[in-house]
Amino acid sequence: MERVRLQIKWLDKEKKEGLHLPAYHSALAAGMDIQAAVVKECTLEPGAIALLPTNLAVAIPPGYEIQVRPRSGLAMKQGVTVINTPGTIDADYRGEIMVGLINLGSQICTIRRGDRIAQLVLAPVCRATLEQVDDLQETARGTGGFGHTGL
């Protein structure tokens, strides 16, 4: 498994009490759990959206991004997921990592300081070189879209 150095910084060291740096929670986990740095509880009514702070910023190496993804337990047990999943943190962004959550469940969800609210996945990025053409190469699928295979 490739290791890539990722610099991470507490934005306000005085407000990191009760929080931990993102961490992998199993030997082969792809995502690092990240915690909410809320000062007071955040109540998410069904259908509500909230943008939550983490008090963290990162320096991502060129050629990589961080994807902000839902935590499966939060999504399956409470219906709370990342609104723009997967969110992307670009290599040139140096601001606070914020996590947008939406409550798609039927019950109120309360997010407390230190709750694990999302996972961060470091991923390689490749950039496209666009070539404008008049026709595209034909394939067996052609223009078949959503559900065309019967699933």
Tens digits of residue pLDDT in 138-147: 998 888 888 7
Selected residue with higher pLDDT from 148 and 48: 48
Q: pLDDT for 29-77, tens place per residue?
A: 999 999 999 999 999 999 999 999 999 999 999 999 999 999 999 999 9
pLDDT classification of 151: cutoffs 50, 70, 90? low
What's the DSSP call for residue 13? G
Domain boundaries, the chain: 7-124
Q: pLDDT for 117-131, tens place per residue?
A: 999 999 999 999 999
Interacting residues of 13 by C-beta distance below 8 A, sequence separation 6+: none
Say what the pLDDT of residue 1 is: 84
Choose which CATH entry (3.30.365.10, 3.40.50.150, 3.20.20.70, 2.70.40.10) describes domain 7-124. 2.70.40.10
The predicted model scores a pTM of 0.89
Q: Are 93 and 9 in contact (CB under 8 A)?
A: no
Q: Are 115 and 77 in contact (CB under 8 A)?
A: no
Q: Which residue has the tokens 């914020």?
A: 98
